[in-house]
Amino acid sequence: MASPSTAATLSWSSSSWLHSFSGPINEISKLPDKRMPMVVFAQKKAKKTRKIILKEDVADLGKKGQLIDVKAGYYRNFLLPMGKAQIVTPILLKEMKIEEERIEAEKKRVKEEAQQLALMFETVGAFKVKRKGGKGKLIFGSVTAQDIVDIIKAQLQRDVDKRIVSLPEIRETGEYIAELKLHPEVTARVRLNVSAN
């Protein structure tokens, strides 16, 4: 139990404590009733995305070499473990640019080669094709894409894929035009002179 002097001290200190706050409490209640608007800023949840480059085609996402943004979890849990993508870095971007320039230069070189080959085919003149003759101008059999490939190989020492050769149906003697699709943007027109033996 506390001694009487300690109890008196406690009661005095608690009453003085209450008394010291009674003034400001009254003053607070006397303030004019001005309601201050409270502004609350709602913070959007941060979107966690990653800028990646695809290493291979991914259905419903993109093609190989494409730069895209994907959710971090999708990258971490699916694309990365499967080896389908990697995070884009400045070094990787530089390498991509160099590779892109190399591919463009290669495409340009292939196109120029096709243009030179087309020019050569067109300046050669007519390729002579001989077939066994029939009645009048008719020939036995027809001239095929393989025949054109063999003639080009024999006369110009150039290998040509027969799938790029397109020619009209040839069943009689005369002059014809065959087309060789050497490049998506380059088609050579080759003249054929079909004659009977």
DSSP 42-82: PPPPPP-EEEEEESS-BTTTB-TT-EEEEEHHHIIIIITTT
User: What whole-number percentage of the chain has pLDDT above 90?
Assistant: 21
Question: For 118-169, what is each residue's pLDDT tens digit?
Answer: 898 888 878 888 888 778 888 888 888 998 899 889 888 888 898 999 999 8
Beta strand residue intervals within 72-185, DSSP E: 85-87, 127-131, 165-166, 174-183
Terminal Cα-to-Cα distance of the chain (whole angstroms): 140
**Domain range annotation of the chain:** 49-88, 109-196
CA–CA distance, 52 with 68 (Å, rounded to integer): 6
**Residue 46 scores a pLDDT above 80:** no
Place of tokens 């029939």: 134
- Domain 109-196 belongs to what architecture? Roll (3.10)
- Given the candidates 3.30.1330.10, 3.40.50.300, 3.90.640.10, 3.40.5.10, the CATH classification of the domain at 49-88 is 3.40.5.10
Cα–Cα distance for residue pair 164/155, rounded to 1 Å: 18
- Residue 130 CA to its chain's centroid (Å): 50
Q: pLDDT per residue over 79-115, tens digit each? A: 989 889 988 888 888 988 898 899 999 999 999 999 9
Residue of 116, 118, 142 whose CA lies nearest to 190: 118
**Domains 49-88 and 109-196 fall in the same CATH topology:** no
